[in-house]
Chains A and B, each alone.
Chain A
Amino acid sequence: MKKGHIYTAVFMIILSAVLTFALALAYESFKPAIKGHKELAEQRAILYALDLDNGLTDDQVAVVTSDLIAEITLGEKMVPAHVKDDKVVAYAVPFTGSGLWGSILGYLGVTADLSETTGIVFTSQNETPGLGGRIEEEQFKGQFRGVPIGPDTELKYVKNGGEIDAVTGATQTSDAVLRMLNAALRQDVFGGEVQE
């Protein structure tokens, strides 16, 4: 059963068209759901960094976000902040930088007087699962509640005389995280010069 060149070409064109159409259809019909989940995940992340997420349900996240979160200017940027009775309680400072495999994105919560952190959250990371990927676990993230910061106080790991434990077996990722956090603190929170 030998098939000619024309059959082959037509077969491939039709197959590609059908499959592309099917995927486009699937994407379009899933898009609203995917977008909804992304927005919810972002809101939940911000609440977590500000230490407001104590096991909220999905509906509560939306309510708490509209009640307590507002965009406030910090330095030169607009950042989400926890506002209570028209007073800022804490800022969620977005940070980004390169990890071991790709970009890491997240928020670092800092109190209104910029004296300590309220929490950390990662919204996007592609670190090695089981190694660097463990920065997403509570064991690591939980250490960033109430750590003192200041214009001259950097975040440090235990091995460098700080309070935070790095992730075992993931030195590169751990170091990258603190590097981007300290850069964000210098640049966006305390407005100093960035040292490279």
Chain B
Amino acid sequence: MAEKPREIIKRNLFSENQVLRAILGICSSLAVTNTMRNSLVMGLGLSVVTALSGLTLSAMRHAIPRRVRMLVQTLIIAVYVIFLDLFLQAFLPDISKQLGPYVGLIITNCIIMGRAEAYAQSNPPFPSMLDGLFAGLGYTMVLMMISLIREILGFGSVFGININFVGFETWTIMIMPPAAFFIIGTFIWVMSARVSRRAVDDK
């Protein structure tokens, strides 16, 4: 019953998107989506950590005692996040400065532990890494869509480049977290409606 890589990718990007279907990672989806650059970097950082922690935890899944597995997961995830932070500081100081507190916040993202619990602990290393990577990219995709709407309406720009040629009055609420609530809510609604319609069609 091994899942094909294609299926893992499709499932994580669409049918089981972590933000829209599992409703995980909502906190950061509200906080970092006011500009596209922030969303992209946060999403990529999360994808890397989820992939690597999935790989590691899956490789050592037979050695981990069940009763301390969450402890081990947290430990591994934290080590990767700190390593990523140090790596960025040493080799990509500009990106590190822009990210500031976000890198540390990756630890608290429930998608990483969610994938570790739901997938990596009972599947081989390579599929686990793929699963983690695409769970992260699915999250990135949703973040980018939300931040595109928020950045255009809130700042009149895309990736910091001003596109507001017509003097459109930008909406301050779009920069604030409440705006993401409405947008994510709408996305989840559309997604759920599609999934339930498909379920009816299948019967």
Pair A129/B68 contact, Cβ less than 8 Å: no
Interface stretch (choices A18-26, A49-57, A148-156): A18-26
Q: Which residues of B contact A129 (CB under 8 A)?
A: 32, 34-35, 38, 100, 102
Pair A23/B68 contact, Cβ less than 8 Å: no
Q: How far is the CA of A157 from the CA of B63 in the complex (A)?
A: 62
Q: Which residues of A contact B182 (CB under 8 A)?
A: none
- A19, A126, A131: the one contacting B175 at CB < 8 Å is A131
Interface stretch (choices A4-12, A75-83, A104-112, A113-121): A4-12
Q: How far is the CA of A148 from the CA of B79 in the complex (A)?
A: 50
Q: Binary interface profile of B, 53-94, with partner A (CB < 8 Å = 1, else 0)?
A: 000000000111111100110011001001100110111010
A34/B83 contact (C-beta < 8 A), A3-B66, A126-B100 known: no
Instruction: Give the size category of B's interface with A.
Output: 20 to 34
Q: Is the C-beta of B122 less than 8 angstroms from some C-beta in chain A?
A: no
Q: How far is the CA of A17 from the CA of B57 in the complex (A)?
A: 17
Q: How far is the CA of A133 from the CA of B175 in the complex (A)?
A: 12
Q: How many whole Å from B40's CB to the nearest CB in chain A?
A: 13
Pair B172/A30 contact, Cβ less than 8 Å: no
Pair A34/B86 contact, Cβ less than 8 Å: yes
Binding site for B on A (CB under 8 A): 1, 3, 7-8, 11-12, 15-16, 19, 22-23, 26-27, 30, 33-34, 37, 41, 126, 129-131, 133, 168-169
Q: Is the C-beta of B191 less than 8 angstroms from some C-beta in chain A?
A: no
- B64, B82, B172, B175: the one contacting A23 at CB < 8 Å is B82
Q: Which residues of A contact B175 (CB under 8 A)?
A: 130-131, 168-169
Pair A33/B100 contact, Cβ less than 8 Å: no
Q: How far is the CA of A12 from the CA of B66 in the complex (A)?
A: 12
Pair A30/B87 contact, Cβ less than 8 Å: yes
Q: How far is the CA of A164 from the CA of B64 in the complex (A)?
A: 59
Q: How many whole Å from A12's CB to the nearest CB in chain B?
A: 6
Interface pairs A-B: 7 shortest CB-CB = A130-B34, A30-B90, A33-B90, A37-B93, A8-B65, A3-B65, A19-B79
Pair A23/B83 contact, Cβ less than 8 Å: yes
